[in-house]
Amino acid sequence: MKQRNCIVAQSGGPTVAINASLAGVISGVAESSVYHTVYGSLNGILGILNDELINLTELSKEQPDFLECLAKTPAMFLGSCRHKLPHYLDDDSSYVFLFQQFETYEIDAFFYIGGNDSMDTVLKLSEYGKKIGSPIRIIGIPKTVDNDLCMTDHTPGFGSAAKYLAASLLEIAHDTFIYAVKSVTIVEIMGRDAGWLTAAAALARNEYSDAPHLIYLPEVPFDPEDFLLDVKRLLFERNNIVIAVSEGLRDVSGNYISASEQSLDTFGHKQLSGVGKTLEFFVKEKLGVKVRSVEINVLQRCAAHLASATDLQEAAILGKKAVALSEEGVTASMVTINRISNTPYQVEYGYAEITHIANEAKSVPEEWISPNGNDVEQPLIDYLTPLIQGESHPTYKNGLPVYAGISHLLKYQ
Amino acid sequence: MKQRNCIVAQSGGPTVAINASLAGVISGVAESSVYHTVYGSLNGILGILNDELINLTELSKEQPDFLECLAKTPAMFLGSCRHKLPHYLDDDSSYVFLFQQFETYEIDAFFYIGGNDSMDTVLKLSEYGKKIGSPIRIIGIPKTVDNDLCMTDHTPGFGSAAKYLAASLLEIAHDTFIYAVKSVTIVEIMGRDAGWLTAAAALARNEYSDAPHLIYLPEVPFDPEDFLLDVKRLLFERNNIVIAVSEGLRDVSGNYISASEQSLDTFGHKQLSGVGKTLEFFVKEKLGVKVRSVEINVLQRCAAHLASATDLQEAAILGKKAVALSEEGVTASMVTINRISNTPYQVEYGYAEITHIANEAKSVPEEWISPNGNDVEQPLIDYLTPLIQGESHPTYKNGLPVYAGISHLLKYQ
């Protein structure tokens, strides 16, 4: 029976949940009546192009605790890439070779765990496969700390990033409230175009701390003068202000609030950094108070020691779901999470056509942002709260969390 | 019997363990046959000067779980200050008032939990007390993430910062190793003059990752050209390099490797930031590879969710020890940790005269730094390893750690 195989790969930027989805795929294949072996493609789609595939089915059989540890390990066990396929009408050489590889390895399905750009690859492979009449199922499994993929209630990786961020914001609040002098702390949070992760800073608020006192999302044009008025007003009421800002803040003309060079990455995105520092110097100059900026940086996407148990669980289920759907013949799709209710938190798992997802992005709805653009509304907090519930409790050894070692087959370490 | 009282205050920069010492003092007083009440002075010594004292003995009786939660709460429950007392020979007005306050509140002992600058206050109060023949015991309780206090094997707060840092470094290693392109990641770590915390980055190394590949401490003059050679050499061997640098790196002439303004704080220290960014642009310009700098910033001193259980336990014991020593008549001293052995890790608790501690600083010994100044030696790793053992496991509620609310009496929040 089990004569066919499949390939899984990971792509884009790291999250804490992307290996949980990988573990889900490996488990799904182990339980499958169709698939014999799942191969892991090293460095995303490049692994197939470079013929760098590892046998994950064997690997997981050799090491009994492997899957459990893998599911709690940050970033990509298989490595990643930022490789954009040309459209096959422009150059089909990669496609020809990829589908040859699928034949060589007796592949029935390819699973790509990734974000927006990876879903572009899923779309292109699906279109080419359809054109040549290939039976290979191509299925995307979402992940991104940005939470900006369409057709899914949220994306794996986001809940853990939100949890780490909210906990860090709470801890920064404790850190900043200790001095009896006027101070402003600006926390810069990831999210190029969507403010979901920045909004999660609001979860830090509790019965004794209302930090962050101001939240600025990239969905709203940023007005430095309005910002200054907000800060001034709050400094009348209290000594210490904590402000959450998205890395992607832009002014009304669309220019980034950023002091850094704006180089373009492979996908034509601007490489951002610096809004925190920019606003730090701005407030210091204008108001003369103590100002500190904190860029959470990559920690928000790799701090697996504080992962959301809900997030990791959902990520693993989506991996399994992708395997099951492929067996049913689903292709050209991405597996999705559909929320049934907030209280109690209930979801169901499904899929959506990749044409509705690739190259689209989901912003925070206007009605979930406060009218004056400096905070979020309760429905957004209600949406976010279930996603950070539960702790994943990694195993600790010698004082540090135990993660699955980055594959020794990765030559580039 | 229990007719006399004492005062405790917290000062300087936050750590994760400073409230554990506070909880230790409160517990010590509860078990004391001498002290009736321990008052908490808000914002360090300023609370006594401004007559802002809260009754911690009552507070801890009112809330049964208070002490347990307090001991796991980051930063200063009582607030902090950066107030430098003048020498009493220059101006004794503060001293006269402070000792009047001690009389008013029937105080027998004053405990000051803090770092180098707070020990300066302990010294000055002790000297003035001796001059006027006061029987008040003045005892310092160490805390600093910098680990640079003399006469104690290590300082509470350091072990937790080291644990968080090492875990974060390991996670950053996972984050950075995923791409098959040459990259350099520079992690900037706190420690103005002492490299203890930067050295703790070495604890992130394990059987599959040798990141950080280079470690630069402020004890060694930093040579940008040597640094560039180190990076170049490593980029031949591997794709991804992680480098730990102290915020306090200086060149051979003593100038900070930093692009920022160098304003002076109350104590005459240079306010540092920017060595990471400075080196990021330097490597980018010279080698043309992908470079990222990550400033761990305040998170390394406030991330209580990943505190070292060893650290919190020792901090609490030192708080209790200070109370016990004051009952024995000890004054003008700081409680200390003396290491008996590394394996098994054993310590005993004692005290040392404050004159040997105040205004002194303990650097990393030269023999614990590699001869070429870009790494640490095994004895330093052996010294550090026991300090990060054990997890403190805070209680979680609604997805976030539960901390003791910053006192509602703090007006400045």
Average confidence (pLDDT) over B281-308: 94
| Inter-chain CB proximity A400 and B388 less than 8 Å | yes
CA–CA dist A48, A106 (Å, integer): 13
Contacts of A267 (CB under 8 A, 6+ apart): A82, A84, A117
B181 neighbourhood in chain A, CB within 8 Å: 412
Cα angle value B12/B152/A398 (rounded, 5°): 95
Cα–Cα dist A213/A234, whole Å? 8
Q: Which of B174, B294, B408 lies closest to A406 in CB terms?
A: B174
In this structure, what token pair is assigned to residue B352? 């040392």
Position with higher pLDDT, B324 vs A180: B324
Chain A residues whose CB is inside 8 A of the B175 CB are: 14, 74-75, 298, 301-302
Which chain B residue lies closest to A10 (C-alpha atoms)?
B178
**Residue A346 contacts by C-beta under 8 Å, 6 or more apart in sequence?**
A339, A340
Residue A285 C-alpha, separation from nearest chain B C-alpha, in angstroms: 13
Select the residue from A16, A171, A239 to test the B interface by mutation, using most B Cβ atoms within 10 A. A171
Q: For chain B, what percent of residues have pLDDT higher than 70?
A: 94
What's the pLDDT score for residue A205? 97
Q: How far apart are CA B2 and CA B34, in angstroms?
A: 5
Q: Do B178 and A76 touch (CB under 8 A)?
A: yes
Q: What is the pTM of this model?
A: 0.95
Q: Write the residue in A76, A238, A400 that is nearest to B203 by C-beta.
A: A400
Q: What is the rounded CA–CA span in Å between residue A401 and residue B268?
A: 39
Model pLDDT, residue A408: 56
Beta bridge partners of A339: A347
A225-245 per-position pLDDT tens digit: 999 999 999 999 999 999 999
* CB contact (8 A) between residue B297 and residue A294: yes
d(CA B334, CA B352): 6
Residue B259: predicted pLDDT: 57
Q: Are the Cβ atoms of B166 and A76 closer than 8 angstroms?
A: no
Asked whether the beta carbons of residue B178 and residue A206 sit closer than 8 angstroms, the reply is no
A239 φ/ψ angles, rounded to the nearest 5 degrees: -85, -45
**B chain contacts of residue A190, beta-carbon cutoff 8 Å:** none
Work out the pLDDT band at A412, boundaries 50, 70, 90: very low
Looking at chain A, which residue has its C-alpha nearest residue B75?
A175
Residue A294: list chain B partners with CB under 8 A: 297-299
Verify whether the Cβ–Cβ distance A398 to B412 is below 8 Å: no
- pLDDT for A1 equals 62
pLDDT at A25 over 70: yes
CB contact under 8 A, B168 and A299: yes
- Asked whether residue B270 carries a pLDDT value surpassing 70, the answer given is no
Residue A262 confidence (pLDDT) above 50: no
Amino acid in position A28? G
pLDDT in tens, A114-157: 999 999 999 999 999 999 999 999 999 999 999 999 999 999 99
Helix, strand, or coil (residue A342): coil
In this prediction, residue A329 has a pLDDT band, given cuts at 50, 70 and 90, of very high
Q: Is the per-residue pLDDT at A267 higher than 70? A: no
How close is the nearest chain A Cα to the Cα of B78, in Å? 8
Reported as a single tens digit per residue, the pLDDT across B151-204 is: 999 999 999 999 999 999 999 999 999 988 999 999 999 998 999 999 999 999
Any idea what the Cα angle at residue A157 is, between residues A258 and A85, rounded to 5°?
Answer: 75
> Who among A172, A209, A390 is closest to B298 (CB)?
A172
Each residue of B82-96: pLDDT tens digit?
889 999 999 999 999
Closest by Cβ to A389, choosing from B75, B399, B410: B399
Q: For residue A82, what pLDDT is reported?
A: 87
The amino acid sitting at A250 is R
Residue of A nearest to B409 (CA): A208
CA–CA–CA angle B375, B378, B381 (5° rounding): 85
Calpha distance A178→A174 (Å, rounded): 7
| ipTM of the prediction | 0.95
Residues of chain A with pLDDT > 90, as a percent, come to 86
pLDDT for A403 equals: 96
Cβ atoms of B118 and B44 closer than 8 Å = yes
Contact at CB, B401 and A178, closer than 8 angstroms: no
> How far away is chain A from the Cα of B83, in angstroms, using its nearest Cα?
11
The DSSP annotation for B244-282 comes to EEETT-B-TTS-BS--S---B-TTS-B----HHHHHHHH
Dihedral sign, Cα of residue B222, residue B226, residue B229, residue B234: negative
State both tokens at A344.
């109690």
Which residues lie across from A256 on neighbouring strands?
A250
From the list A224, A241, A243, A225, the residue with the least C-alpha distance to A186 is A243
Contact call for residues A378 and A282 (beta carbons, < 8 A): no
**Active-site residue, B120 included:** no
Residues from chain A that touch B176, judged by Cβ atoms under 8 A, are 298
Is the Cβ–Cβ distance between B226 and B249 less than 8 Å? no
Q: Tell me how far apart the alpha carbons of residues B298 and B165 are, in angstroms, rounded to a whole number.
A: 11
Give the closest-approach CA distance of B3 to chain A in angstroms.
31
Of the candidates B209, B295, B400, which has its C-beta nearest A166's C-beta? B400
> How many interchain CB pairs under 8 A, A with B?
199
Active-site residue list of A = 146
Q: How far is the alpha carbon of A186 from chain B, nearest alpha carbon, in Å? A: 12
Nearest to A308 among B297, B390, B399 (CB): B399
**H or E, element range at B77:** none
Query: Are A179 and B410 inside 8 Å of each other by CB?
Result: no
Is residue B268 scored above 60 in pLDDT? no
Q: Chain B contacts of A166, Cβ < 8 Å?
A: 399-400
Residue B101 CA from chain centroid, whole number: 29
* B interface test, pick of A77, A172, A175, A239 with most B CB neighbours within 10 Å: A175
Where is pLDDT greater, at A340 or B409?
A: A340
Nearest to B34, CA basis, from B62, B76, B65, B2: B2
Task: Say if CB B378 and CB B281 are below 8 A apart.
Answer: no
Please indicate whether, in this complex, the C-beta atoms of B179 and A81 are within 8 angstroms of each other. Answer: yes
Residue A238 Cα to chain centre, angstroms = 35
**Contact state of A180 with B43 under an 8 Å Cβ cutoff:** yes
Q: How many CB atoms lie within 10 A of CB B225?
A: 8
Check B171 against A73: CB less than 8 A apart.
Answer: no
Contacts of B241 in chain A (CB under 8 A): none
pLDDT at B410 exceeding the cut of 80: no
Residues on chain B touching A204 (C-beta within 8 angstroms): 400
Catalytic residue among B146, B148, B311, B375: B146
Residues of chain B positioned with their CB less than 8 A from the CB of A203:
399-400
Work out the pLDDT band at B2, boundaries 50, 70, 90.
confident
Q: Which of A237, A278, A246, A241 is nearest to A260 (CA)?
A: A278
What does the pLDDT read at residue B271? 41
- For B62-76, write each residue's pLDDT tens digit: 988 999 999 999 999
The minimum CA-CA distance between A372 and chain B, rounded to whole Å, is 24
Is the torsion defined by CA of A84, A87, A91, A97 positive or negative?
positive
Strands A53-55 and A35-41 turn out to be: antiparallel
How sure is the predictor about A257, in pLDDT bands with cuts at 50, 70 and 90?
A: confident
Among all chains, which residue has been given the structure tokens 């609604």?
B398
Helix (H, G, I), strand (E, B) or coil at B68: helix
pLDDT in the model for residue B264: 43
Q: What is the average pLDDT score of chain A?
A: 93
**What is the percent of chain A where pLDDT is above 70?**
94
CA distance A353 to A206: 40
Asked if the Cβ–Cβ distance from A79 to B177 is below 8 Å, we say yes
* Residue of A172, A209, A303 lying closest to B302 (CB–CB): A172
**C-beta atoms of B175 and A298 within 8 A:** yes
CB A249 within 8 A of CB A189: no
Q: Phi first, then psi: what are they for A400, rounded to 5°?
A: -130, 155
Q: Are A148 and A193 contacting, i.e. CB atoms less than 8 angstroms apart?
A: yes
Backbone φ and ψ for B285, nearest 5 degrees, come out as: -65, -40
> Can you read off the two tokens belonging to residue A264?
């373009």
Give A167-214 pLDDT, tens digit per residue: 999 999 999 999 889 999 999 999 989 999 999 999 999 999 999 999
- How far apart are the C-alpha atoms of B343 and B42, rounded to whole Å? 40
Cβ–Cβ gap B400/A14 under 8 Å: no
Q: Given a cut of 60, is residue A319 above it in pLDDT?
A: yes
Q: List CB contacts (< 8 A) between A342 and chain B.
A: none
